[in-house]
Amino acid sequence: MSEDVLFQLKHVSKGFVKGKEKISIFDDLNMSIERGDFVAIMGPSGSGKTTLLNMLGGVDQPTGGEIWFDGTRIDSLSESALTRWRAENIGFIFQFYNLMPMLNAQRNVELPLLLTKLSKAQRRKNVETALALVGLSDRAKHMSSEMSGGQQQRVAIARAIVSDPKLILCDEPTGDLDRGTADEILEMLQLLNRDHGKTIVMVTHDPAAAKYAKRTLHLDKGQFVQREIVA
């Protein structure tokens, strides 16, 4: 295994039982993601791309096969171990931002830092840096209800990077935004990947969004159907 491989899926299968039927989403799925990569995963609805993302994030677990992350096998970790692992390694960006409505931007960004042992001053510094990076330093005290969708998503990005995770997972990050705003967000992700070396995996159904990634994987009926296309 190359030193540069961050994520590796080996013969991963996933299925669930619905009534009497056994439904299979993946069967023998293999993939690897290297450090510094920016991968877009595309596919029609029901192709399993969100399930894949959930498994990468340690939110969902495969029924068979192995998932390796940075030299650790994560598919067999207990739930509490996975929770700790997520807090240390993964940043999440959701389609509907999922900010805490009762907290302002600054507090929302600070949220993941509650899981670290950083000092108060250090935490404030990290939050300021993250907000500056997404260009929202002047909105630190705003509540999510006072911000546009694009601004909310930028807060979500700041929240995803504030604890300096190794991997950022994005689930349709622009699905709820107009073209112009979507491009801003995607450019920001690209910048994080290019200038800050963040590894990013993004699920999307928008080809225009996928173009911002370094490469795109097409998922259909639980299989990658095309070879990787380098953007």
Binding site for another protein (CB under 8 A): 54, 57, 59-60, 79-80, 83-88, 90, 92, 94, 96, 98, 100-103, 107, 110-112, 114-115, 159, 176
Closest contact distance (angstroms) between CB of 14 and another protein is 11
Query: End-to-end CA distance of the chain, in Å?
Result: 25
Which is nearer to another protein, 168 or 216 (by Cβ)? 168
Closest contact distance (angstroms) between CB of 62 and another protein is 13
Closest contact distance (angstroms) between CB of 28 and another protein is 22
Per-position DSSP letters for 19-35, written without gaps between them: TTEEEEEEEEEEEEEET
The beta-strand segments (E) located in the chain are 5-18, 21-34, 38-42, 64-69, 72-73, 90-93, 167-171, 199-203, 215-220, 223-224, 229-230
| Contacts for 209 with CB less than 8 Å, ≥ 6 apart | 40, 173, 174, 182, 186, 202
Which is nearer to another protein, 2 or 145 (by Cβ)? 145
| Contacts for 62 with CB less than 8 Å, ≥ 6 apart | 12, 13, 14, 26, 55, 75
Which is nearer to another protein, 2 or 80 (by Cβ)? 80
Which is nearer to another protein, 174 or 216 (by Cβ)? 174
Which is nearer to another protein, 126 or 216 (by Cβ)? 126
Number of CB atoms found within 10 A of residue 22's CB: 9
Instruction: Tell me which DSSP letter residue 202 carries.
Output: E
- Cα separation, 215 vs 230, whole angstroms: 5
Closest contact distance (angstroms) between CB of 190 and another protein is 24
Closest contact distance (angstroms) between CB of 229 and another protein is 29
Which is nearer to another protein, 96 or 179 (by Cβ)? 96
Closest contact distance (angstroms) between CB of 52 and another protein is 12
